[in-house]
Amino acid sequence: MTVLRSTLCIAVGGPVLAWHALRLAAQLAGALLGLLLAGCHVAGERAIFGRNAR
């Protein structure tokens, strides 16, 4: 019974853990991309409008 229970735990827990890890990685990637785009946006404004754009 214990072997069956642990096998079931791994079978159910594995994909759940993988899903959470993927979601976390996607959120981190999204945050980094957002920061990068914001930095490019500010740099672009400065290039177009000069130093005192913001």
What DSSP line would sit under the chain, residue for residue? -HHHHHHHHHHHHHHHHHHHHHHHHHHHHHHHHHHHHHHHHHHHHHHHH-GGG-
What per-residue confidence (pLDDT) applies to 52?
Answer: 62
Distance in angstroms (rounded) separating the CA atoms of residues 13 and 35: 33
For residue 26, name the pLDDT band (cuts at 50, 70, 90): very high
What mean pLDDT is predicted for residues 36-49? Answer: 82
Residues in the chain: 54
For residue 28, name the pLDDT band (cuts at 50, 70, 90): very high
- One-letter identity of residue 30: G
For residue 1, name the pLDDT band (cuts at 50, 70, 90): low
More confident residue, 53 or 4: 4
